[in-house]
Amino acid sequence: MSITGTTTILGLIADPVARARSPAMANALLERWGLDGAWILVPMHVAANGLVDCVAALRHLRNFGGAIVSMPHKTAIVELLDELTPDARLVGAVNVIRRHADGRLAGTILDGEGFVGGLLREGHRVAGAHCLLAGAGGAASAVAFALARHGCATLCIVNRTRAKADELAVRVGRAFPAVRVTTDETSTDRIDIAVNGTSLGMQPDDALPLSESAIARSSLVAECVVAPERTRLLEAAQQLGAAVHTGVPMLEAQLEMLLRFMGVNA
């Protein structure tokens, strides 16, 4: 790869970034497209208290094209941007930004469509499915709206802070009234797809994001965590007899969309 003065810089804004898979995967895709050297995606380790300054600085970086936005910044970055797509406004979160020539920053959210796309690529069915989702943050919200958009029959949202789950359930139910949305895990005996939309699983000593009872009732347990690929949740699900789906297909399904939003033309 030849980096020159004309190389456009893309980034991954996250905390932590050490185990992130998207830089390697994105640069490999750029190489396959014959664009390595013209574009490069680098990790940007930004703590929560540095996000405002980071975004302000990126406005002035004229060879900056855009960035993937990962945990824990997907909701906090929304108010720092100039433009949001309708999906980003609906979800209230962003996972990719693009810099315009005048320094304005635009954002959208592709996590939900990436997650569902990953499921469909692996042969799983969302339409008519009974789903359980752990989390109510940026990634989880995107997944919730995408599952509803693709026709799941029911969606139960559980979260450590019940009020956030209730608020998300109201928003999803308002947007997709045909889907029965609840926040009571005991209200369903059948779980076709259980999803971890939280960051739990990134650290080896993290608690399980779903109860063992819910895991045992699930036909398929799916992750949004990408690194590590095999989380404690997936190991527990396999031990309890459920099929598992890692977070990698979610990233693979949306990677081309992320690069195109940032301005890359293959």
Q: Average pLDDT of each block of 10 consecutive residues along the chain (266 residues)? A: 92 95 96 96 98 98 97 96 97 97 97 97 97 97 98 97 97 98 90 97 95 96 95 97 96 95 92
140/125 Cα distance (integer angstroms): 19
pLDDT for position 82 = 98
What torsion, rounded to 10 degrees, do the Cα atoms 120, 170, 94, 79 define?
180
**36 lies in the same domain as 64:** yes
Which residues pair with residue 9 across a beta bridge? 40, 64
In this predicted structure, what is the pLDDT of residue 187? 81
Are both 52 and 121 inside the same structural domain? no
**DSSP per residue over 121-175, as a string?**
HTT---TT-EEEEE--SHHHHHHHHHHHHTT-SEEEEE-SSHHHHHHHHHHHHHH
164 is catalytic: no
Q: What is the pTM of this model?
A: 0.92
Q: Report the pLDDT value the prediction gives residue 1, as an integer from 0 to 100.
A: 67
Q: For position 83, what pLDDT does the model report?
A: 98
Q: Are 81 and 65 found together in one domain?
A: yes
Same domain? For 124 and 226 the reply is yes
* Predicted local confidence at residue 132, as pLDDT: 98
Give yes or no: residues 116 and 148 share one domain. Answer: yes
Say how many domains are in the chain: 2
| Residue 2 belongs to some domain of the structure | no
154 and 206 together in one domain = yes
Six-digit token pair at 49? 């208290």
Range of the domain at 212: 112-250
Q: Which of 9, 41, 74, 214 is catalytic?
A: 74
